[in-house]
Structure 1
């Protein structure tokens, strides 16, 4: 099977990740329940008339994908694959409000048309005039991982040479209210949050868009090699060790071969137990966490993939991400482990390009 390389990485997040010096200015957040993404000046990338009709996730994705393609020096990819958890929820809410306010009569179809999950991939393709394979995965917290897996198969099977892969999710006011009512989001009295040793359930919610160009050929600016991906819907806590060990064995690796491991600690006491179990395996690895920088959301793993790419390329781990104080002289293999509320577990293995 031929190698697959991550040749560019772009991210819009709670951090100023479009800034070249963002690694020096990472700011953790422990005392806010809902974190907003730092948005760029959209008018530099999108015509003003179009901006008004676009939801936040479409705008973020349009800019992030533009940066990813430009960095990889790819004008038109052979495929566009996007993963999202809740899609264009702003337009979904507007449409439903329209239905209620107008007693289901005289409805304009615009909000409904723009509310579908594949709007993001479609808008990017329209902007590029790209008629290639276009697909959207909606698999809660493993949406990006399914997208990466599809892209990897497209490249290794010879169907494509360069694939644009992205993940995106936005917030809406009403959805955040509902998440607080059903206790997905923490209560005010649980602040500030200790992400690594939380005693309360619930998370801090974030948003963002991360895009990557995967290629068959390694370039001078390649970030990483995408080695393997594994996804499982449900997992018992005591099965965590076997889940990871079997994945590593499949790739002829042992726990001690992992130079760094990125764990998705979210501050949710119940589901973070999986990460604590996983951490026990990697006593000789650099352990990292990231959701104190991005917040938790369906495609938060896009932020961790983006950070892992920079760590492999720069061979340096930001102090703010470290769980332990162990640092390897060379970072060759990074394992990313993520889930959302104890469901949809994913493992992504990245190697030095």
Structure 2
């Protein structure tokens, strides 16, 4: 297997992550049920006539992908792979509302055409006039990880040299209402939220888009080497440590070789038990968390991957992410562990270049 490098990273999130100084200005969010992404001025990147027809997730992804390609110095990638949990849900809702309002008659196809999950990857390809491999993964919280896995295989099989990989999810009013009703989103009375020691169910919901360029060659801008990915759709709580241990053994590592572990604590007491269980395995690692900065959503792991890339490159951990006070002289390896509501568990191993 040839090495695969992350040569650029761009993110639009609840934090001002397009700003060069975002690392010093991270602000935790623990008292709002739903967090909105900080969006750029789209007309600086997208023609105004096109902006009107684009949903929020397409606009965020278009800009984030432009940032990622520019940083990597790539005009046209050899493949475009996007992971998303909810896809273009704004247009999906508009289409369904039209169905109801018009009694299923005389429907315009526009919202339906734009509501499909692969709209994002398709729009990016159209903008770039890129006719290469174009694929979308819809696997809830492991959508980005499946996209990374595909990109890694494309590079290892000699099918591609540079791959644009992204993750994106947006919010819609109706879906947020339903999430409040089924207790996915935390009740007002349970806020502000202590992410690490929560005793109540539900999460604070976020949104965002993260894009990366993966390449077979290391460059001056390279952030990390993408060593390996492991995904499991179901996992019993008592299997957590073995799941991690087997993954590390496969990569000829022990838990003592991991300098930092980024865990997806969301504030949902029941499903966060997996992260608490995982923490017990890493007594000599810096323990970090991130969803108090991004909110929980299907592809929140894109934000954690983006942060891990900057931690490896800057050799600095933001204090706001720390669970413990353990300091490392050098951060060589970072393990990312994520799931959504106790399902679709993923491990991603990144190494300093």
Residue 219 of structure 1: aligned partner: 219
SS in structure 1 of the partner of residue 29 of structure 2 = coil
SS in structure 2 of the partner of residue 234 of structure 1 = coil
Deviation at residue 164 of structure 1 after TM alignment: 0.0
Q: Which runs of 5+ in 1 are unaligned?
A: none
Within 1, Cα distance between the matches of 2:268 and 2:5?
A: 33
Within 2, Cα distance between the matches of 1:101 and 1:163?
A: 42
Within 1, Cα distance between the matches of 2:231 and 2:286?
A: 23
Deviation at residue 327 of structure 1 after TM alignment: 1.4
The count of corresponding residues between Structure 1 and Structure 2 is: 353
Within 2, Cα distance between the matches of 1:62 and 1:160?
A: 21
Within 1, Cα distance between the matches of 2:225 and 2:327?
A: 21
Residue 108 of structure 1: aligned partner: 108
Residue 67 of structure 2: aligned partner: 67
Please give the residue correspondences for 1:9-158 in structure 2 after superposition, counting only pairs within 5 Å: 9-158=9-158
Within 2, Cα distance between the matches of 1:97 and 1:225?
A: 45
Within 2, Cα distance between the matches of 1:255 and 1:45?
A: 44
Q: Deviations over 1:212-271 (max 9, x none)?
A: 000000000100000000000000000001000000000000000000000000000000
Within 1, Cα distance between the matches of 2:334 and 2:158?
A: 26
Within 1, Cα distance between the matches of 2:213 and 2:39?
A: 21
Within 2, Cα distance between the matches of 1:284 and 1:122?
A: 44
Instruction: Name the TM-score, length of structure 2 as normaliser.
Output: 1.00
Residue 160 of structure 1: aligned partner: 160
Within 2, Cα distance between the matches of 1:327 and 1:247?
A: 24
SS in structure 2 of the partner of residue 131 of structure 1 = coil
SS in structure 1 of the partner of residue 311 of structure 2 = helix
Which portions of structure 1, spanning 4 or more consecutive aligned residues, are displaced by more than 2 angstroms?
none
Q: Which runs of 5+ in 2 are unaligned?
A: none
Deviation at residue 122 of structure 1 after TM alignment: 0.1
Residue 332 of structure 1: aligned partner: 332
Deviation at residue 79 of structure 1 after TM alignment: 0.1
Within 1, Cα distance between the matches of 2:20 and 2:156?
A: 32
Q: Does structure 1 residue 322 correspond to structure 2 residue 322?
A: yes
Residue 205 of structure 1: aligned partner: 205
Instruction: Name the TM-score, length of structure 1 as normaliser.
Output: 1.00
Q: Does structure 1 residue 272 correspond to structure 2 residue 272?
A: yes
Within 2, Cα distance between the matches of 1:64 and 1:118?
A: 16
Within 2, Cα distance between the matches of 1:23 and 1:136?
A: 30
SS in structure 2 of the partner of residue 212 of structure 1 = strand
Deviation at residue 174 of structure 1 after TM alignment: 0.2
Deviation at residue 183 of structure 1 after TM alignment: 0.4
Within 1, Cα distance between the matches of 2:350 and 2:327?
A: 17
Deviation at residue 69 of structure 1 after TM alignment: 0.1
Within 2, Cα distance between the matches of 1:327 and 1:136?
A: 39
SS in structure 2 of the partner of residue 218 of structure 1 = coil
